[in-house]
Every structure is written in structure tokens, then in C-alpha cells.
């Protein structure tokens, strides 16, 4: 008999996980699975990567305390494809199977594994398309003569050097001239006589 964990999440405090729990317990009984632990995140959005119940479940998965995870639906585990695939990838590395009640996906079988691979490929394609769109937008902006990034800041270097000689700290100079400490250090170097911070 395989040991499984149930993961349940409800977004608001007035929602109750009993419906999810009933369906998952019934599925476990039907498949002759032993439920060793139930993890619940109550009143927590699926967009949050850090969740007490999910974090505890992943810790226990790393300790080998169960062989599979049952969830009611994909969106109970994660709302973003990226986070969903990260969790599935870690479970897969730990040899922990993943089963979703609503989508009827089981990574223990070849069809479920294929579906996860397809989801991963779609996610990778989406990332590539976003990168390409950003590059195309930057290329177009350059062709139109628009400057990319922050405009350069001109600082009175002589005044900065004078204030440093008077004993002002790097932090004080950073606040006074409204530039980062790293920029202050760069401007104080003898080779930098321009006084321009990119």
C-alpha cells in the first residue's frame, strides 16, 4: 500500500476544505492508498510561493515520509505555471508521485508524465516568447532614438571630494547627493573626473 499525503488549500477564511478533503479521501480509499498526513493552507492565496502547509509538506517529502501527493486541483497547489512546475519537478526528483483529482492527472502513469512534460514545454515556450518580445521592444526603442535605462545623473565631483575630506561618511554622501554608496566610491576614485553616474 502506497503512503500518500493530501494537500488542501482554501483562499479565504470563510471557505472550508471539507469538500476537497472528502473527495481526496474517497480517491485514496478507491486506489487503496494509505493517507499518512493531511496538509492544509487556510485563507492563503495560491499566488504566494511560501505557505506553511505547502512548505511543511515539501520538507516531509524530502524526508521520504510518503510516496505520493494528492491534490483536489492544480490551482490548489499553485496559481502560476512556473511555481507549479517547480513543485512538480522537486516531487519528481524525490520520486514522489503527484495526483490531481479534478484534472485526473497521475504522474505515476505514462500519460500523466507526458502531460507534465507538455506543461513544462509550454512554460518554456512562454518564457522564450516574453524574452523575445522584450528584446524586440528594446531594439525598436533604440531605432527610434530613445534612451534605454535610467538617465545619467550629474554630480558635482569637486564638492563630493571636498565633503569627503571634511569627514562625511559614504552613507552621508550617498544621502546628500542622492546616489548609491557604490556610485560615491566610484566618483571618489582619482581616475573618475567626469562626475557622471550612469
Same domain, 22 and 99: yes
State the sign of the Cα–Cα–Cα–Cα dihedral 111, 117, 120, 122: negative
Q: 64-119, pLDDT tens digit by residue?
A: 999 999 999 888 888 777 788 888 889 989 999 999 998 888 887 787 778 777 77
Is residue 79 domain-shared with residue 168, that is, in the same domain? no
> How many Å apart are CA 112 and CA 88, to the nearest integer?
12
- Please tell me which residue, 146 or 116, carries the higher pLDDT value: 146
| Residue 134 located in a structural domain | no
Looking at the chain, the whole-number percentage of residues with pLDDT higher than 70 is: 92
pTM of the entire predicted model: 0.59
Q: How many domains does the chain have?
A: 2
- What is the SS3 assignment for 174? helix
Residues designated catalytic: 11
- The answer to whether 80 and 119 have CB atoms below 8 angstroms apart is no
Same domain, 105 and 17: yes
Identify the domain containing residue 78 by its residue range.
3-120
pLDDT of residue 116: 73
First CA to last CA distance, the chain:
63
How far is the C-alpha of 47 from the C-alpha of 1, rounded, in Å? 34
Domain match, 43 and 85 both: yes
| Same-domain pairing of 96 and 180 | no
Amino acid at each position: 500500500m502506497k503512503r500518500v499525503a493530501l494537500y488542501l488549500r482554501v483562499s479565504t477564511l470563510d471557505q472550508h476544505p471539507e469538500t476537497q478533503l472528502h473527495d481526496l479521501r474517497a480517491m485514496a480509499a478507491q486506489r487503496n492508498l494509505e493517507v499518512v498526513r493531511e496538509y492544509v493552507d487556510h485563507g492563503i492565496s495560491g499566488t504566494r510561493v511560501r505557505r506553511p502547509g505547502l512548505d511543511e509538506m515539501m520538507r516531509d517529502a524530502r524526508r521520504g515520509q510518503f510516496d505520493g501527493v494528492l491534490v483536489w486541483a492544480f490551482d490548489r497547489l499553485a496559481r502560476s505555471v512556473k511555481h507549479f512546475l517547480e513543485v512538480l519537478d522537486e516531487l519528481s526528483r524525490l520520486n514522489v508521485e503527484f495526483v490531481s483529482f479534478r484534472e485526473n492527472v497521475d504522474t505515476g502513469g505514462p500519460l500523466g508524465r507526458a502531460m507534465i512534460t507538455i506543461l513544462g514545454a509550454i512554460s518554456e515556450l512562454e518564457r522564450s516568447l516574453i524574452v523575445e518580445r522584450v528584446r524586440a521592444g528594446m531594439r525598436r526603442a533604440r531605432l527610434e532614438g530613445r534612451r534605454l535605462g535610467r538617465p545619467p545623473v550629474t554630480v558635482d565631483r569637486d564638492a563630493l571630494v571636498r565633503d569627503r575630506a571634511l569627514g562625511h561618511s559614504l552613507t552621508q554622501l550617498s544621502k546628500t547627493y542622492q546616489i548609491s554608496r557604490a556610485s560615491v566610491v566610484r566618483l571618489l576614485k582619482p581616475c573618475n573626473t567626469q562626475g557622471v553616474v550612469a
